[in-house]
Structure 1
């Protein structure tokens, strides 16, 4: 499969579709006032338009990844793409709150079907020494789509007006989706084992889905459901997820389980999943609170608010592109550097907004946000690459989906925690948007600091293992060279999780 000259074309189609689905996580933020006024949405309905997408997105990631592993990733990817395109058209045509909410839920579900196939296709189409570049492009796609969403949304509203601009946010997906379906059918290869009929673990799917819903629902509804009783759902979700683990261990003795729990014994995968969860808890909340502060606190238009976060988007793109060249050499050390740059950049943005008051604050924070964006580009794609480097290709879809599910849970956790602090400080300070933003910003920094601690744990643990030689042993070797005793990524027998003894010394 790796000799197929069309694999880069296939990757382009997958990344464009992935960009479209991830863009819809953030692009709606600046359009919420227009949607509220046009469809007369309540605050609760508005919350569902924004968070319902993330909820169903996270719900289907692992089952869809497992289904793609077993039945073939191309057809699952295209089916999700078709559904996403149709749901986007329905969202743009919405005439009521219920219509729009249902369309957004279906959109999120379709995105959850598509996205795990992308990392699986990279694992399938590219040999281990080649994967740094496509994973770097995937990281750039994630970073740019999240950061550029507010800018593109503001631009569409400026061009088409308050009443119609928000609809074009969804209509934009239609031509992109149609072209991607046509080219995807032509260029994305069909895996030979696509006719496989191994068990899909329906009990595991049901338990995982129920656990994720119970855990995410109170986070999504944190501002709407008063009182502390809602957190009992999160406790119930944790118990269901514990039952899921017990079931997977039992089911995996004789069949291929939904989630290969043995992968979490591999340091590169287990700590990589934790880093992703914590980083996304801080990373995605930056745009949530910053665009609110700019629009409501400093009086920016939707377009200007989008422009203000563009430096982060540009930095993220450059950082992700550069990281692909160095991840094989420096491994998790590169992630540590990126996390430090994010922390320094966000602290600098806080300082700039404190020193330069008023409408000029957004311009003053541009350079620090550029630094934070460069750091973000060094975190997302290298962490994804390193986390999946020891995953067998046959499990690539479901393993990548578990990582993305952690990212979606982290996003929900971060928005709930940071949003609660933001609005609490806003109320306590009697409308001081600056004070509310800075307090919430430092909570996002705290999430990134904990992610940095996890990354440092991986690096320092690697130094204490036998055979550790130097700081360059953090990832797969360039050119596919293998050291004595090193296990080449992706070469495990299908369905067998790598054992801890086969983990590279330094990852």
Structure 2
């Protein structure tokens, strides 16, 4: 599970009593953006059948939102600093609401992919303003309470994405089917736009010019990297996929050089390259990429297994997966106390729990095959969710703790971007393994076919979790 948090470190200058009514609007916006990260997974089989979507198109529907969200998060935060956070909040919410309408009315898979990308771009404008507005308008104990409420809201959004989303698809409100999961955003978005007047306007005291060339280079490079990974397997890896990967390497290398040149000239870059040259922060950034690459791909594999493979309806599928989210929320609440007592070793233990539970989950599905009873997965799903909560919540604080205060805001933006890009990357890689295994077992019974594909796809998640354990052990030793 992934709360996809983005931390904004800004100077606090709250004046007067904290705007609690404005906080409720900010929480609503945080809820809906994270809800849309998770709700798609329970609706994927329905979309696939209704739109006659290919497996690669399904990957784009999931990853397109995450990639667009991730690559513009830093830009969205900077624009809020420059133009006003409430103004960007309203613009982002308006764009998100319009994109949700386009998603709900999409006549085909290609249209839905485009609308999901637009939705992710709007979320990237909207989401950073939630954190920044809380940071500048709440102080001391009020700030801790506000961020605690935000964390709880994001956790509930992930659970609602599976249970409420599954229910919406199952009851087929107004014969809308899967479209209702997007159209439900419309009244919420319109309400948030009207109620945004309760959010105090704020801007950064020092406004640096935005690095648009850097935005274009990193966005283009990431798109050229992920598109062939998602589309390549279904097309047999034609020449354009390899050309795209090569072009991605060139653009990302160019981005690194451009950022360093900008820094040396005294202008503020999107990413401070010496920051990535710090060993502990670089290892921590890789850790974030690995752990978050297992989140959305996990949900996608599970939804395809129990719905497409075993024929469960979306509501039952979401309800079976919900204990994973509950385990995540409970472990997230416990993790800070464990880390305070045991340090980085507590995160290592969480990573081991996560890796072992994934290995046992793969083994259970593989051994049972077509005879699997999906409800029997609930105990291991709950443990896997708890393992995620023990890693993800304290990992962000651990990694950001490696950075001096002056660069904390930039480091937070980098980490938040890696969360989303990692999730999109995980969907791409797991999609390759899942689709390949599905084709290799095409002669088997459908349930057995999907059980084998689940085990193959989740193998990447297991390897990523084991690598995370190794990297965390290295960090724990360095800290001693």
What interval of TM-score do these two structures reach, taking the shorter chain for normalisation? Answer: 0.7 to 0.9
Match of 2:68 among 53, 56, 63: 56
Note closer, same or farther for the CA distance 1:407–1:146 as it changes in structure 2 (3 Å cut): same
Matched, 1:93 2:110: no
For 1:424, the equivalent position in structure 2 comes to: 436
| 2:30–2:153 Cα contact (<8 Å) kept | yes
Mapped to 2, the partners of 1:130 and 1:444 lie a distance apart of 38
CA deviations 1:377-435 (Å, max 9, x no partner) are: 12222222333346677866653332232122222222222222222222223343222
TM-score by length of 2: 0.84
The offset of 1:84, in angstroms, is 0.4
For 1:412, the equivalent position in structure 2 comes to: 424
Note closer, same or farther for the CA distance 1:202–1:437 as it changes in structure 2 (3 Å cut): closer
Match of 2:114 among 102, 125, 128: 102
| 2:87–2:201 Cα contact (<8 Å) kept | no
The offset of 1:97, in angstroms, is 4.6
| 2:291–2:464 Cα contact (<8 Å) kept | yes
Note closer, same or farther for the CA distance 1:45–1:265 as it changes in structure 2 (3 Å cut): closer
For 1:301, the equivalent position in structure 2 comes to: 313
Alignment of 1:204-219 (within 5 A): 204-219=214-229
For 2:254, the equivalent position in structure 1 comes to: 243
Note closer, same or farther for the CA distance 1:394–1:343 as it changes in structure 2 (3 Å cut): same
| 2:104–2:179 Cα contact (<8 Å) kept | yes
| 1:11–1:122 Cα contact (<8 Å) kept | yes
| 1:137–1:320 Cα contact (<8 Å) kept | no
Note closer, same or farther for the CA distance 1:67–1:22 as it changes in structure 2 (3 Å cut): same
- Greater share of helix residues, 1 or 2? 2
Mapped to 1, the partners of 2:408 and 2:133 lie a distance apart of 8
| 2:106–2:112 Cα contact (<8 Å) kept | yes
The residue matched to 2:72 in structure 1 has which SS?
Answer: helix
Mapped to 1, the partners of 2:199 and 2:68 lie a distance apart of 28
For 1:29, the equivalent position in structure 2 comes to: 41
The residue matched to 1:27 in structure 2 has which SS?
Answer: helix
CA deviations 1:100-142 (Å, max 9, x no partner) are: 3332221111112223344444554567998777666655555
Mapped to 1, the partners of 2:151 and 2:280 lie a distance apart of 17
Matched, 1:283 2:300: no
CA deviations 1:333-391 (Å, max 9, x no partner) are: 33223212212322333344456666763222111111111121122222223333466
The offset of 1:289, in angstroms, is 0.9
CA deviations 1:81-112 (Å, max 9, x no partner) are: 22101211232233455543332221111112
| 1:339–1:376 Cα contact (<8 Å) kept | yes
Mapped to 2, the partners of 1:359 and 1:134 lie a distance apart of 47
Unaligned runs of 5+ in 2: 1-12
Mapped to 2, the partners of 1:132 and 1:449 lie a distance apart of 33
Alignment of 1:53-202 (within 5 A): 53-121=65-133, 124=136, 145-146=157-158, 148-160=160-172, 163-188=175-200, 190-191=202-203, 193=205, 196-202=206-212
Mapped to 1, the partners of 2:49 and 2:430 lie a distance apart of 26
Aligned length: 461
Mapped to 2, the partners of 1:2 and 1:394 lie a distance apart of 20
Note closer, same or farther for the CA distance 1:47–1:426 as it changes in structure 2 (3 Å cut): closer
For 2:284, the equivalent position in structure 1 comes to: 272
Note closer, same or farther for the CA distance 1:154–1:192 as it changes in structure 2 (3 Å cut): closer
CA deviations 1:196-222 (Å, max 9, x no partner) are: 542212222222222222222222323
Mapped to 2, the partners of 1:8 and 1:378 lie a distance apart of 30
CA deviations 1:223-265 (Å, max 9, x no partner) are: 4443253133223212212221111112113111122334335
Mapped to 1, the partners of 2:283 and 2:150 lie a distance apart of 20
| 1:30–1:302 Cα contact (<8 Å) kept | yes
Q: CA RMSD in A?
A: 3.2
